[in-house]
Amino acid sequence: MSTILLAGGAGYIGSHTAVELLESGYDVIIADNYSNSCPEVINRVEEITGKSVKAYEVDIKDKEKVDALFSENKIDAVIHFAGLKAVGESVAMPVAYYRNNIDTTLTLLECMEKHGVKNIIFSSSATVYGEENPVPYTEEMKRGTCTNPYGWTKVMMEQILEDAAKADKDLSVVLLRYFNPIGAHVSGKIGEDPQGIPNNLMPYVAQVAVGRREKLTIFGRDYDTPDGTCRRDYIHVTDLAKGHVKAIDYVFGAKGVEIFNLGTGTPYSVTEIVETFENVNNIKINHVYGERRPGDLAESYANADKALKVLGWKTEKTLADMCRDTWNWQKNNPNGYRK
């Protein structure tokens, strides 16, 4: 059976992907420096799946150590999740973002080349569609103008991977453009565990629900949308993880670059998220309306047809599932992975 290296695999999306890959019969190696995650994740993934996971504590920028990892293991494909992802922080610390996100990509590509590994899947983002493209986004649209350094790192990494594939005709690259992953594994054992004050909507809602934050501020209610709040394409993280399994099956038989949106294709507003969370979980979310957040687009959602057509993948979970599973994780782990 094939062995998949998950760079940044202890994180939110990586850990859920590890579960789905293990349950589909793949062997998994997780390499993470735990800069935004905890080693406890590995135990939880093993608990859920009943399988063992080889884990390395390694900075993916550290070429010597990553090279050693490739020498010790026969790796068939890499999924590159390792990156810094906080939009606001990227505006304050652009150099750290470019250094981390681009260096990890270059190091992985160099080690893959040296060890003859030809398959890579990259965690890209809907953010690469930028400000110009109209919704719903389709994969053949040109990458747009990003509003922050985080987004630019994704644009640049997509370009780097495309150039690498042009130069090496045996390389198979899949760029997965995620929309807004939320939710948690149905077991409640793994989920999103942001450090400090959450930047993203759903973890903030969950922390208000569990009493760690006093109230949610909804950023803007004067957008040109049905209820005036922004609309996003929220996708259950388990559906997203299953998309990676399909992408792995695909990457082995392919050459060149293929891009897939991973979203539901249906947008929900911030107000709808709060209301659904309240109704499904029978819990009130204290909230107020505030100013718009700089850089936010009114709407972002996918046309998800290509992933269905080419990968045979589509989302199965509802917004209610996403809200229920988020709360199940948060209430069972009020402080995330920390005791």
Which residues are CB-contacts of 116 (< 8 A; sequence separation ≥ 6)? none
CB of 202 within 8 A of CB of 273? yes
Inter-residue contact 85 to 126 (CB < 8 Å): no
152-211 positions binding ligand UDP, by CB under 6 A = 180, 199-201, 204
Q: Which of 18, 77, 82, 285 binds ligand NAD (CB under 6 A)?
A: 82
Q: Among residues 52, 159, 195, 217, which is the contact residue for ligand UDP, using CB under 6 A?
A: 217
**Residue 326 binds: one of ligand NAD, ligand UDP, none (C-beta under 5 to 8 A by kind):** none
Residue 218 sits in the site that holds ligand UDP (CB under 6 A): yes
Q: Residue from 10, 270, 311, 319 that binds ligand UDP (CB under 6 A)?
A: 270
Active site residue 150: yes
Choice among 56, 129, 150, 204 that is catalytic: 150
DSSP 143-185: P---SSHHHHHHHHHHHHHHHHHHH-TT-EEEEEEE-EEE---
Is the link from the previous residue into 94 a cis peptide, with omega within 30 of 0? no
Q: Which two tokens stand for residue 178?
A: 């995620």
Q: Name beta bridge partners: 54.
A: 29
Q: Are 176 and 260 in contact (CB under 8 A)?
A: yes
Of residues 169-188, those binding ligand NAD (CB under 6 A): 178, 180-181
Euclidean distance between CA atoms 21 and 28, whole angstroms: 7
* By CB under 6 A, residue 230 contacts ligand UDP: yes
- CA gap 105, 158 in Å, rounded: 10
Q: What does the DSSP 8-state code read for residue 117?
A: -
SS3 content of the chain, % helix, strand, coil (to 5): 40, 20, 40
> What does 61 bind: ligand UDP, ligand NAD, none (CB cut-off 5 to 8 Å by kind)?
ligand NAD
With binding defined as CB under 6 A, does residue 293 bind ligand UDP? yes
Smallest distance, ligand UDP to C-beta of residue 192, A: 10
Per partner kind, with CB cut-offs from 5 to 8 A, the member of ligand UDP, ligand NAD, none near residue 133 is none
Judged by CB under 6 A, does residue 129 bind ligand NAD?
no
Position 333 contacts ligand NAD (CB under 6 A): no
- The CA distances from residue 138 to 132, 239, 285, in Å, are 13, 19, 34
The residue within the footprint of ligand UDP, chosen from 296, 299, 305, 321 (CB under 6 A), is 296
Binding to ligand UDP by residue 251, rule CB under 6 A? no
Query: Residue numbers of the site for ligand NAD (CB under 6 A)?
Result: 8, 10-14, 32-37, 59-61, 81-83, 85, 100, 104, 123, 125, 178, 180-181
Binding site for ligand UDP (CB under 6 A): 180, 199-201, 204, 216-219, 230, 232, 270, 293, 296, 300
Residues that are catalytic: 150
